[in-house]
């Protein structure tokens, strides 16, 4: 798997996933909480199959200015 999620997008995905899980837990909607795991997983792996399908690569901008982790 090649990186296609940039650093800023990674942070946004993890925060959004945590917010979705929090809303799901607050309103006791288990399905919504489970959906919140998807952006967290794609953020932590820095790979998103949807980005690959549409041809978007957020890591390309990361490689220009700084080292890739």
- CB 47 within 8 Å of CB 13: no
Output the pLDDT for position 65.
Answer: 53
**Above 80 in pLDDT, residue 68?**
no
Q: How far apart are alpha carbons 1 and 24 in whole angstroms?
A: 30
Give the predicted TM-score (pTM) of the model. Answer: 0.82
Cα dist from 64 to 15, 20, 43, 58, 68, whole Å = 25, 32, 20, 11, 9
Tell me the percentage of the chain whose pLDDT exceeds 70.
Answer: 87
Output the pLDDT for position 56.
Answer: 94
């Amino acid at each position: 798997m090649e990186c296609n999620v940039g650093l800023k997008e990674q942070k946004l995905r993890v925060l959004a996933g945590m917010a979705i899980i929090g809303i799901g837990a607050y309103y006791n909607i288990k399905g919504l909480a489970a959906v919140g795991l998807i952006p967290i997983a794609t953020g932590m792996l820095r790979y998103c199959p949807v980005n690959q399908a549409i041809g978007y690569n957020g890591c390309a901008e990361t490689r220009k200015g700084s080292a890739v982790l």
